């Protein structure tokens, strides 16, 4: 039961992380009209990530989650969420420059929690051999929402966002 409680706490923190990223990206979509569609799409995808984590929590509560999705430490995730909360509050008062918004988002997407989530979503899973594999099901659902850091960097280069 202790392991389930730990997994529950980690999944909840991971969900908070995704929701806070969504909030930051929504703020950017309202702040930078020329990039609004880009930020909006990322915000929607982060919301989708949070929904997947919420479903994981429901599976865990029912006793159907047999493999932990997040193996990352609680303290690491908690630190990430706290940093995102502070950043969101700061951005609501003092909007970053366009470059700062992109640079920070790129760094956030490369952070421990996000990188770990990306790694999990790329792990090879054989759904034919094991169609009940929860991780494989989440990978299928999440397929379109991957590679945010790469997409942010590519967008910056395509639109000459350098300073």
Per-residue pLDDT of the chain (163 residues; tens, 9 = 90+): 455 677 788 888 889 999 999 999 999 999 999 999 999 999 999 999 899 889 888 888 887 765 555 556 678 888 889 999 999 999 999 999 999 999 999 999 888 667 666 666 677 766 556 555 566 666 665 665 568 988 999 999 999 998 7
Tokens standing for 9? 């706490």
Architecture of the domain whose range is 2-158: Up-down Bundle (1.20)
Structural domain boundaries in the chain: 2-158
pTM to 2 decimal places: 0.84
């Amino acid at each position: 039961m202790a392991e389930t409680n730990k997994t529950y706490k980690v999944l909840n923190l991971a969900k908070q992380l995704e929701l806070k990223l969504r909030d930051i990206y929504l703020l950017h979509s309202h702040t930078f009209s020329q990039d609004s569609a880009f930020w909006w799409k990322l915000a929607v995808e982060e919301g989708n990530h949070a929904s997947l984590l919420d479903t994981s929590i429901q599976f865990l509560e029912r006793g159907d989650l047999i493999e932990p999705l997040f193996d990352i430490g609680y303290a690491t995730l908690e630190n990430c969420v706290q940093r995102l909360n502070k950043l969101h509050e700061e951005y609501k008062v003092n909007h970053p420059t366009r470059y700062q918004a992109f640079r920070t988002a790129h760094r956030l997407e490369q952070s421990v929690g996000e990188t770990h989530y990306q790694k999990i979503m790329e792990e090879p899973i054989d759904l034919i051999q094991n169609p009940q594999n929860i991780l494989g099901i989440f990978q299928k659902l999440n397929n379109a929402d991957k590679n945010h850091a790469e997409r942010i960097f590519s967008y910056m280069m395509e639109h000459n966002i350098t300073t």
